[in-house]
Each structure stands twice: as C-alpha cells, then as structure tokens.
Amino acid sequence: MEKQTVTIYDVAREAAVSMATVSRVVNGNPNVKPATRKKVLAVIERLDYRPNAVARGLASKRSTTVGVIIPDVTNIYFASLARGIDDIAMMYKYNIILTNSDDAGEQEVNVLNTLMAKQVDGVIFMGNHIDDKLRAEFKRAKAPVVLAGTVDPQGDTPSVNIDYAAAVEESVTNLIQRGHKKIALALGPLSQSINAEYRLTGYKRALNKAKLPYDDKLIYEAGYSYDAGTKLQPVIADSGATAVFVGDDEMAAGIINASIESGVSVPDDLEVITSNDTIVTQITRPSITSITQPLYDIGAVAMRMLTKLMNDKELDEKTVTLPYGIARRASTKSAE
Amino acid sequence: MEKQTVTIYDVAREAAVSMATVSRVVNGNPNVKPATRKKVLAVIERLDYRPNAVARGLASKRSTTVGVIIPDVTNIYFASLARGIDDIAMMYKYNIILTNSDDAGEQEVNVLNTLMAKQVDGVIFMGNHIDDKLRAEFKRAKAPVVLAGTVDPQGDTPSVNIDYAAAVEESVTNLIQRGHKKIALALGPLSQSINAEYRLTGYKRALNKAKLPYDDKLIYEAGYSYDAGTKLQPVIADSGATAVFVGDDEMAAGIINASIESGVSVPDDLEVITSNDTIVTQITRPSITSITQPLYDIGAVAMRMLTKLMNDKELDEKTVTLPYGIARRASTKSAE
DNA sequence: TATTTTCATGAAAGCGATTTCAATTGCTTT
DNA sequence: AAAGCAATTGAAATCGCTTTCATGAAAATA
C-alpha cells in the first residue's frame, strides 16, 4: 500500500486549469486571476497537495538547500555557529545539509563535492584551516561559499570572524599590565592558521609593545580537550609561567582543575584567560575569564551573506569582522 | 561566466554510447562490457562529469538524504546523537538535512513537512515529547521515521533509548542504600514524558521498594540550564533533602556550585547524581556522579534501523533499549 | 467602433537522470 | 552452418515541476 502522491498534474486536472497556472499559484505569482487562484487553492487543500521539492529543484535549478561543513557538531563552539546559520536559513526558507568533516582536509573536499552534487545553492564552511586544495575547490564550485568562524589568511573567500589577533593581544596585554613577565600560550595545532597566524601574532604583538622577550618555550601545542589541558598543566607549571592564555575552554578547564589539584592557586599563582566563552567558563571554580565572541551572530551573518551571494547580489564587505569582548571572571585578578 | 555543467548526455555523446550505458557505469551496474566501461570512465574523467543528485532523485525517487529533527544543536546531548547519526549516514552514503525544532510542537510538524517535501528517504526524530499531532504526522509520512533518544510511551514508532526508568531507579536506590530518606528529584518540564512517565516512575519505584514515602514537594520542575540549577538550589536546600537526582548535567552543575557557595557541602550535606555524563560532569568540583548513556551509539543504531526501513527490510526489534551505566564520581559518597 | 495594451492562461519544451523493454551482438552448442 | 542463449546496448518514456512563448480575452485608448 504505497502511499499515492498527488502531483501538480492532478491538481491541474481537478481544478480544470493548466499545470502552469497551478505552478503560478503555488509560487505566489501575481499573474493569476483571484477567482482562479481561489479555485486552485481549494483543490490543493482538498487533495492535500505538497509540491515535490526535488522536481522543483530540477526544473528551477535551485534546491533551496545550503550545505554546511562543520568539524564536529558536538563541539559547542561550532554548534553555536550552526545554530545561527540554521535559524537564518530557515528564515529565508532554506534547509541545511550538515556534514561533519573532522577537520580532515581530504574529508572536507569529499564532502564539498557531494554537497555540490546535491545541487546546494551555497555552502557555509567551518574549519580550522584552509589549504590550497580546499581553496581551489571553493573556486571551482559553482555555488558560493562563505566561511564562518574560519579564517583564510588569503582572504579569497567571503568570511565572518572576530579579530582573533587583536583579542589575544588585548588579553595578553591585560596580563602584562598586571605585572606578568612569563606568559604561556596554550594552543591547538600550530598547523592551523588561526593559531599560527592569528593568536600567535596577537601574543607577539602584546609582548613587543611591552618590550618583553619572546620565548618559544612558552608556546604549547595541544589538543582541544579537557584531558589535553590536565596533561599540559604540569608542563606549564614547570615553565615558571605565571599566566596563560588558552585557545580552548575545555583545555582551560583542564589546566585549572589540574592546577588546583596540584596546589597551584588560580589566579594567585597562575592567571588564566581562555577564548570561547562557552558555558564551561562559568562552571569551573574559579570561573574563567574569557574572550567573548558573538557565536550565534557569526553563523547568522555568514548565512545572510550567503543568501545575498545566492541571489547574485554584491556583498558590502567580503570579510566581516564582528566585535569581541572580554568577560572578566575569577581566573584573573582584577586590574590594579 | 556561468559555469557550464556537464550532463550525462555530454558523456554519452563523447563516449559514443547511450545515456543508459553511462548511467549503468556510473551506478556500477555489472551489465556493461569491461571495454565499454573503461571508455566511459575515461570520458567521465576527462569531462569531470558529476552526476546531478537532484535529477537522479527525481528519476529514481530516492534522494539519499535523511531528515534529522533536533531540539537544538547546541545541546551537547542531542548533538552527540546527531554525530552518531551522521557518521552512520555517511557510511551508507546518505546525507543529513538537520533542522532545529526548539522542541516546539508546531515547529516540529512544520519541519517534518518540509522534510517530506524535500523527499527525504527517512527521518530521525529527537525531541522531548511526542504528542498525538506528531504521532499522526509520523503515520501519514511516506518515509519511515525512527526516534533517537526520544521516548514514545505508545511505542508506535521505532525508537532507540536506554531504560530511563531503570536508570533512575538504580540511582535513587543507591542513594537510599546510603541512608538517605529525603531525596529530591530535579527534572525538566513534567509535560515531557521522559520526565513525567519515565524518570518519575523510576524514582517512585525506588522509593516503593524501600518503603519510603513519596512526597511530591521533593519533585522540582525547572529548565535544562546552569542558571536553572543555581536558582533551584536554595529551594532544594530548604526542603531538607540530603540527596538529589538531577535530569540535566548543566542543571546539576548549577546546583553543585550554588550549594558550595552557600556553604552546603557536596557530597557531605547533599549528594548529587545526574543523567547525561557530559564533559560537564568532569569539570565541576566535586565532579558529578552520573548515569552514562551510549549517546553516539543511540544515534548510530537509530540510523542503522532507518537504513533498514528505507530498504523495506524488517526490523529485528522495533524498540531498542541500549545499556546504561553509572559513573561514580565525587558528588556521591562511596557505598558503605 | 477600431486599435492597442495589458492580463490570464495554456501548450509544450526542458531540467538530468533512471529504467523498462526491445534489439543487437557474440558465443555455444548441435 | 543454423539455432539458441546470454550478454550488451540503445530508444524512449518517465519522474514532477518551472518557464518561455503564443494566444485569446478584457480593458484602455483613440
């Protein structure tokens, strides 16, 4: 007992009009006499007709679907962007095909290709690193691509971000002003440009301005996880650093908990500032001072840009930089 | 300079074969002479032909896309399920259209309908409550639906869950065995059957077995959030409860932090057990004893079931119950 | 009233694949 | 060498909708 599907043809026949007319009323085309529209609408209602989006997509060459490439949905940072993306997409009647890439270059390219095969009207890409391969794929794709929370140092692709370098610079400068001389920097993989080219740059700029020496022994590369933080803590403690800027909230939580459990007081012996202002920063004790980012908005703005591109409109600015803030919590001392 | 798309027709012409043959080689149909296959493959390569999934979907009536309805991607619990779903989907060459429903009945119905319009081959639904309206929509949908981490007391729709009632019963029994007489229960909305019909039932069963009186003043209904927890804590403290079972990890974290800040020691004055074993349970101090659930697997198994249904196979069991565990951490005392 | 314009509508050609069915080809088997 | 079969292949219909173009009807202009 396969369920019978009602097609536009059935509606046309029942309403004694042509398919073209039915199509017009379904799509809100004004060139239909009110009486006709009403008649067609009644039949649609009666037959419970639902337009087939696939057929529509084939005929119109627009799928009203956008692809979203995300490293991992379970990562709260990216999930927050995804939420902003989906809300705006829904507002504009688009749906989201969401795929996890695990940040793996090869997978990212694959996924992008299957999305293009599905005829998505556009793509929002989130990831930690854009390499040449990917950049080339973006270029050959026939649908527009926008980066969300993702930096491309070459700036070829439209993107929405905060100024990571400035945020780190400001955070580290704060630490310096409170008298710290040895400030550690705990980041994710330096192969990712957000770390190597933005956060590190901000860090160096802060040191430079204060005429503090740069010591690469204070730069730590670890995973984006709680456990990575707990493992890293003794190393940081040994370095003699009295403050640390951390690139990931869970990592920061690990560092804090491990510090306290090993008798290192936070913030007295070690001040900690982290990057993403997730709920984690409020749950730890002490709570963690953090850069704040408008996560939802980064996604939302990226999606808005994409809708423009999908409608062949010009972008006001190709690279959007949203404002960041710094939420002071208990893992840092108050300014003097 | 619109990018020119290569169609199956172009390949057929260049390879001097029919579209049917090209279609066969693309789809791995064995009825093609090896030499022909090779020739076609070469042309495909040369022209960089990519089959149009929309056209394919229209012709074959299968979109190789499944819809996923999720309350909120930023909720780590559901996001974990989603990850399991996507991984298995990818394994079976399906893509995921992901939409947030905010647990709102009307929105859920809307979303389900747009998914059906997009001709998804199946749907995985996650939510906190299934009402009659939704149940009716599932029934009239022409694609199969599977519930993941979502209970339907009527059991009409295939689903994957743990035994929530048993898990709560076991947790509460543990508390009782350690001598607690007044055990609070902090849940999300009681309008949701997971709370009203499962967790509450488990709680009552534990009390019953121990011949402890049931007091509905010890049942608290709050939001699934950290702040809801901090607000709830003084109320629980006033009740005289010496232990609490909490339905959400962030809420539990809020209760714990607020307790400690108001001088209530955890676990000495208040033992806490929570439900979802997210990273939050490891970050708080004390860390939180929790029911453990195979979140990823719940999603993965649900997707596996869905693939069977989409291929008209019979399900071994319609209602799958995966095993849970209890991770003992510092918010409870050790057994005596 | 005759002539333009504007409106509403329908016919039919795609969109880019899959799939059925018939035709052809190439081997085997007598 | 003729007949029989299986393996390949192609022609053409179809999927359900959009969209162009032509046409007839109605309204506006002269």
Q: How far apart are CA B241 and CA B271, in angstroms?
A: 9
Query: C-alpha angle with apex B257: B254 to B262, nearest 5 degrees?
Result: 120
Which of B73, B119, B126, B248 is the best mutation test for A, with the most CBs of A within 10 A?
Answer: B73
pLDDT tens for A192-214 read 889 999 999 999 999 999 999 99
Strand partners, B256: none
Q: B105 and B131 in contact (C-beta within 8 Å)?
A: yes
| Residue B277 burial (CB count, 10 A) | 24
B73–A86 CB contact, under 8 Å: yes
Is the Cβ–Cβ distance between B70 and B99 less than 8 Å?
yes
CA of B180 to C1' of D3 (A): 92
The C-alpha atoms of residue B8 and residue A228 are separated, in whole angstroms, by: 50
Q: Please tell me the predicted confidence (pLDDT) of residue A1.
A: 44
pLDDT digits (tens, 9 = 90+) for B10-22: 999 999 999 999 9
Section B308-336 average pLDDT: 92
Q: Which of A3, A74, A83 sits opposite B72 (nearest CB)?
A: A83
User: What integer best gives the mean pLDDT of chain A?
Assistant: 94
Whether the CB of A16 is below 8 Å from some CB of chain B: the reply is no
What does the alpha-carbon distance between residue A82 and residue A35 come to, in Å, rounded to a whole number?
43
Indicate the pLDDT class of residue B335, thresholds 50, 70 and 90.
low
Coil, strand or helix: which one is B318? coil
In whole angstroms, give the CA distance from residue B115 to residue B107.
12
Do A97 and A68 meet the contact criterion of CB atoms below 8 Å apart? yes
Top residue of B248, B283, B284, B285 to mutate, by most chain A CBs within 10 Å, is B283
d(CA A320, CA A317): 6
Q: How confident is the model at residue A335 (pLDDT cuts 50, 70, 90)?
A: low
Q: CA of B127: how far to CAs of B161, B185, B263, B321, in Å?
A: 12, 21, 37, 17
**pLDDT at residue B1 tops 90:** no
pTM over 0.75: yes
Max distance between CA atoms of chain A, in angstroms, equals 84
| A83·B96 Cβ contact <8 A | no
Q: What is the pLDDT of residue A5?
A: 87
State how far the alpha carbon of A28 is from the alpha carbons of A33, A41, B5, in Å: 12, 11, 29
The average pLDDT across A323-332 equals: 96
Chains A–B, number of C-beta pairs less than 8 Å apart = 141
Tens digits of per-residue pLDDT, A255-276?
Answer: 999 999 999 999 999 999 999 9
pLDDT at res. B3? 61
Residues of A in contact with B3 (CB under 8 A): 140, 142
Q: Report the b/e string of A283-315 with b at 16+ CB within 10 A.
A: bbbbbbbbbbbbbbbbbbbbbbbbbbbbeeeee
Residue B251 predicted with pLDDT over 70: yes
Q: Is B217 on the interface with A (CB under 8 A)?
A: no
pLDDT tens-digit readout, A227-254:
999 999 999 999 999 999 999 999 999 9
Three-class secondary structure of residue B285 per DSSP: coil
| Integer Cα distance of B298 and B77 in angstroms | 11
Query: What pLDDT, in 10s, does the model give residues A159-191?
Result: 999 999 999 999 999 999 999 999 999 999 998
- B282-302 mean pLDDT: 96
Q: What share of chain B in percent tops pLDDT 90?
A: 90
Alpha-carbon gap, residue A218 to B2, rounded angstroms: 51
Residue pair A72/A127 in contact by the 8 Å Cβ criterion: no
Contacts of B95 in chain A (CB under 8 A): 97, 99, 114-115, 118
Nearest residue in chain A measured CA to CA from B90 = A99
Burial of B157 (0-12, 13-18, 19+ CB in 10 A): buried
Q: Which of A65, A63, A52 is nearest to A22 (CA)?
A: A52
B335 in contact with chain A, both atoms CB, cutoff 8 A: no
R_g over Cα of chain A? 26
Tally helices (H) and strands (E) across chain B.
Answer: 14, 12
3-state secondary structure chain A: CCCCCCCHHHHHHHHCCCHHHHHHHHCCCCCCCHHHHHHHHHHHHHHCCCCCHHHHHHHHCCCCEEEEEECCCCCHHHHHHHHHHHHHHHHCCCEEEEEECCCCHHHHHHHHHHHHHCCCCEEEECCCCCCHHHHHHHHHCCCCEEEECCCCCCCCCCEEEECHHHHHHHHHHHHHHCCCCCEEEEECCCCCHHHHHHHHHHHHHHHHHCCCCCCHHHEEECCCCHHHHHHHHHHHHHHCCCEEEECCHHHHHHHHHHHHHCCCCCCCCCEEEECCCCCHHHHCCCCCEEEECCHHHHHHHHHHHHHHHHCCCCCCCCEEEECCEEECCCCCCCCC
Peptide bond before residue A51 is cis, with ω within 30 degrees of 0:
no
**Does B2 have pLDDT greater than 80?**
no
